[in-house]
A and B are shown apart, each in its own frame.
Chain A
Amino acid sequence: METSKNKLLDRILKDARDEAKTIVKEAKRSAEILLKNQRQSARLNSENTVYSLLKKAENEAEIIKGKVATDIKRRASWIVLAEKERLVTNVLNEAKNRLLNLQKSEKYLSILEILIVGAGTVLGGDKLEVVLNENDSNLPLKLNKLEKEIANETGVKTQLKLSKQKTEAVGVIVKTVDGRVFVDNTFKAILRRRERELRLKIARILFRS
């Protein structure tokens, strides 16, 4: 009888303890679910922000990529173009030096005559003055022959005379006697006048494969 009573009493307490455990366990589980749901909810609600941030970064990356592609092309072209420009300029400089040195060569007199005829023809003949540098003024120019050549080219009777005016440049300046119109056929002026065309020609020779 006593044993039965004890068993009953133990059972009462055991049941209560078991129930208490369940209550606490359930509460913990609820708490965990609540927090888990909160995390899940936070993840869902952050999705848009996350998407926007990543999308923005991807766009930015694309912009960087595009910008760099443009910069690369520009820079690469610039490297090549600058080198081509330098090489063309080297040729022009060398040509300029050779032209200036022509003054010392035997051919120079005939070249000067060609330049005088050319300038005189452009001016249309008639009474013209030839401006030379100090050295060239002493050259034995056959002005009569040149006058005829200009007259032949223009159909206008031509008279050439050496001007008292002097130039520093190598080559010739031919002008009308009133000085209003002139043709500058000094090498420096010719090169300047024809630089664009010459650069193109040089480029074709240097870079055409």
Chain B
Amino acid sequence: MLESFKTVLEKEMEAEKIRLEAREKAAKIEKEAQEKAEDVYRETCKEIIAKAKHKSNEITEQAKIDAESEMQTFVREAEKQKAKIRVNAEKKFAKAVDAVLNEILS
């Protein structure tokens, strides 16, 4: 009977040791998490802000690209208008010269 009791006690001690080790391991995990928490916070902030900066750059770069493209379109249109003006004006060139001469000589 005593022997049995002793055996149970030993097992209980072994079990307690297992629990103790588990608690120590748990404490270590939590401590590491606590230590890591600040880095995680900082790294997350850094990552989010870096992404936002990247996005900001994309927005402004895209605006520049769009603007440049719009500019090219308008310039092409202006060049077309210029050519049209030239063609029309050339037809009236002689009339305009005569008008100047009349204005001065009359």
A interface residues (Cβ-Cβ under 8 A, vs B): 5, 8-9, 12-13, 15-17, 19-21, 23-24, 26-28, 30-32, 34-35, 38-39, 41-43, 45-46, 49-50, 53-54, 56-58, 60-62, 64-65, 67-69, 71-73, 75-77, 79-80, 83-84, 87, 90-92, 94-95, 98-99, 111, 114, 187, 190-191, 194, 198, 201-202, 205-207, 209
What residues of chain A lie closer than 8 Å to B75, measured between beta carbons?
72, 75-76, 79
CB pair B4 A5 closer than 8 Å = yes
Contact status of A205 and B96, CB under 8 A, knowing A8-B8, A50-B48: yes
Contact status of A201 and B59, CB under 8 A, knowing A12-B8, A30-B30, A46-B49: no
What residues of chain B lie closer than 8 Å to A202, measured between beta carbons?
96, 99-100
Q: List 29 A-B contacts (CB under 8 A).
A: A9-B8, A12-B11, A12-B14, A12-B15, A13-B11, A16-B15, A19-B18, A20-B19, A23-B23, A23-B25, A26-B26, A34-B37, A39-B40, A42-B40, A42-B42, A50-B48, A68-B70, A72-B75, A75-B71, A75-B74, A75-B75, A76-B78, A83-B86, A94-B93, A94-B97, A99-B104, A194-B103, A198-B100, A205-B96
Closest-by-CB residue of A relative to B58 is A57
CB pair A34 B34 closer than 8 Å = yes
What residues of chain A lie closer than 8 Å to B40, measured between beta carbons?
35, 38-39, 42
Q: Is the interface of A mostly helix, strand, loop or mixed?
A: helix
What residues of chain A lie closer than 8 Å to B41, measured between beta carbons?
38-39, 41-42
Chain B, interface size: which category? 35 or more
Closest-by-CB residue of B relative to A2 is B4
Closest 7 CB pairs of A and B: A16-B15, A20-B22, A27-B26, A31-B33, A61-B63, A57-B56, A42-B44
Q: Which of B62-78 contact A (CB under 8 A)?
A: 62-64, 66-68, 70-71, 74-75, 77-78
Q: Is the interface of B mostly helix, strand, loop or mixed?
A: helix
